[in-house]
Amino acid sequence: MLKKLHLYIIKEFLGYFFFGLAVFSVFFVLNNLFNLIDLFLSRGVHAFLILKLLVLIVPEILMSTVPMAILLGILISYGRLSEDNEIIAMKSSGVNYKTLTMPIIVPVCIIFIFLLFCNHFIAPSATSNFRNLYKEIIIKRPFSKLAEKTINKMGEYNLCANKINHKDNTLSGVSVYKFDNRKPSTKTYRMYASSAIVKPYPNAIRITLYNGYLSHAHPSDMNSMTHITFKSYCFFVKLYNETKDDNLLIRGMSSPEILKTIKICKELYMPYNKYEIELWIRWTFAFASIAFALVALPVGIMTGRGGRGMGFGISLGIILIYYLLTISVIDLSKKRCVSTSFIMCLPDVVVTILGIYLLMKMRKE
């Protein structure tokens, strides 16, 4: 009898868990999907590469969405049982709260172990592969991120082209602007060419302009403007933004690699805060699955009428509070206001204490 009851509860939970996982994952994927689709439709990147990039995004998304799905799955499944008075029927048949909650503990623990491995090894590996593949696409197709008749920033240059041929990396009707980084208002360079050819290199691209002119203006003294015509003119542009790539580089490191890097930084008296934050994020999001389960079990059982709808609303509220708290502690860690190892545990500790309190309150009732 109890075995059938346990299987019934697990079946309910897993159904809503996978539903929540799909919904939340799609929501996170959409953040990157439009850019990837644009690479396929407008920039000529092969569909297989787009699909591969999409698959490589998934493991990192699971870090956030799996705890959310656990929370939603428990709240809605137990909320549904409570709404249909099945919880009352079980309790009147002698089933206690321990028996009601035990079926969820095993699948949650299995998911927690998977999430630990995923956060520390699978997701970093996938992120590293995503970074390398994306960089390779940009190198082979240097204008894959650029749009026609739009000002596009490329390093210290702003480039606009009337037409871009992504197949042979040629442009027509090209305008290039360059501003002095030290005093943007004092020196301005503008180049215009009827056509251009782009040649990729490992860390940069060479742009060769044909049949155009170069203007060098001094706004403070317009009489000193320089105007030069040319048949061909070439210059190099740094291809990859290493500042933005730095976050991907850290997220692409496995946890043992991060620990090794932190050790080296300590020995050399170098800052290592960003590595420490990344490491703790992986632990925090893994333990969030346990913390969310502790909160969701008593809330789901005590929901009563309106269980499914209320369960969905409560889950969104808890998720919002948890991730706002997580963002706050990450910000405090970056500012080094408090110890990273102490403050990063705070979201899980708060949710866990709340869950234990609600479980004790439920048992008293």
| Whether 301 contacts 82, CB under 8 Å | yes
Residue with tokens 């990039």: 53
Dist. CA 67–CA 73, nearest whole Å: 10
pLDDT of residue 243: 40
From residue 341, give the alpha-carbon distance in Å to each of 7, 118, 139, 272, 319.
39, 21, 39, 13, 22
Q: Report d(CA 86, CA 93) in Å as an integer.
A: 11
Contact 59, 123 (CB under 8 A): yes
C-alpha distances out from residue 2 to 8, 89, 104, 175, 220, Å:
10, 14, 14, 74, 86
pTM of the model: 0.77
Q: What per-residue confidence (pLDDT) applies to 268?
A: 86
pLDDT for the residue numbered 124: 94
**211 dihedral zone (left: phi>0; alpha: psi -120 to 50; beta):** left
User: In the beta sheet, which residues pair with residue 159?
Assistant: 152, 176
Distance of CA 306 to the CA centre of its chain: 33
Query: Using H for helix, E for strand and C for coil, what is the string for the chain?
Result: CHHHHHHHHHHHHHHHHHHHHHHHHHHHHHHHHHHHHHHHHCCCCCHHHHHHHHHHHHHHHHHHHHHHHHHHHHHHHHHHHHHCCHHHHHHHCCCCHHHHHHHHHHHHHHHHHHHHHHHHHHHHHHHHHHHHHHHHHHHHCCCCCCCCCCCEEECCEEEEEEEEECCCCEEEEEEEEEECCCCCCCCEEEEEEEEEEEEECCCEEEEEEEEEEEEEECCCCHHHCEEEEEEEEEEEEECCCHHHHHHHHHHCCCHHHHHHHHHHHHHCCCCCHHHHHHHHHHHHHHHHHHHHHHHHHHHHHCCCCCHHHHHHHHHHHHHHHHHHHHHHHHHHHHHCCCCHHHHCCHHHHHHHHHHHHHHHHHHHC
User: In the chain, which stretches have pLDDT less than 70?
Assistant: 1, 41-44, 139-145, 180-187, 202, 217-224, 239-246, 303-309, 311, 365
Q: Are 346 and 329 in contact (CB under 8 A)?
A: yes
Closest C-alpha to 297, from 8, 75, 67, 21: 75
**pLDDT (0 to 100) of residue 143:** 63
Which residue ranges make up each domain of the chain? 2-139+247-364, 152-238
pLDDT at 8: 86
Report the pLDDT value the prediction gives residue 282, as an integer from 0 to 100.
Answer: 94
Give me 197's structure tokens: 């050819």
- The whole-number pLDDT of residue 222 equals 57
Question: pLDDT tens-digit profile of 306-341?
Answer: 556 676 778 888 888 898 888 888 888 887 777 787
Residues 347, 137: Cα–Cα separation, whole Å: 38
Question: Hunting for tokens 């060769």 — which residue is that?
Answer: 208
